[in-house]
Amino acid sequence: MKISDALLDDTELAARLRLAVTRLARRLRQQTAGEVSQSQVSALASVERLGPLTLGELAAVERVQPPSMTRIIAALEEAGLVERTVDERDRRIARVKTTVAGQRFLERSRSRKNAYLAARVRTMSVEDRAVLARAATLLEQLLEGEE
């Protein structure tokens, strides 16, 4: 088997991806800038990206259990980054949307909390950045596409 084949082997590629992604995620978790956790930022970004969502929908999107999302949203609400509104027709349902402060926070995140990764990316060639950009898209699709 040639090296070029080995590099594209499903299992090998999956293993390498998993290690790389897991390590980088741990590193980024340590980078945790400020009082807002990774999960909270991720949820906040989903709310911004997908618009007003119910807690259940958010939990599904973020792949966490409902009680976890309750806590995440409670923290974001306390920080003034999201706003909850009860559905008028079905008062069991709560919808979440970003506040202006939440949107500003995300903007700052993109230029400040990602400084670590951005600094690393900045040292890369345009070609390498293009690869990472395409990979990011693929990883997004990979997660969206399931079941």
100 or 130: whose CB is closer to a second copy? Answer: 130
Beta strands 94-98 and 53-54, pairing class: antiparallel
Dihedral through CA 81, CA 104, CA 44, CA 121, nearest 10? Answer: -150
Burial of 119 (0-12, 13-18, 19+ CB in 10 A): exposed
Instruction: From 72-80, 102-110, 117-125, 138-146, give the range in contact with DNA by CB under 7 A.
Output: 72-80
91 part of the interface to DNA, by CB under 7 A: yes
Which residues neighbour 10 within 8 Å (Cβ) at sequence distance 6 or greater?
none
The rounded distance, in Å, linking the Cα atoms of 137 and 4 is: 23
Q: If contact means CB under 5 to 8 A according to the sort of partner, which of a second copy, DNA, none does residue 55 touch?
A: DNA
Q: Where on the chain is the footprint of DNA (CB under 7 A)?
A: 26, 30, 32, 37-40, 54-57, 63-74, 89-95
Q: Where on the chain is the footprint of a second copy (CB under 8 A)?
A: 7-8, 10-30, 38-39, 42, 45, 62-64, 109-111, 114, 117-118, 120-124, 126, 128-136, 138-140, 142-143, 145-146
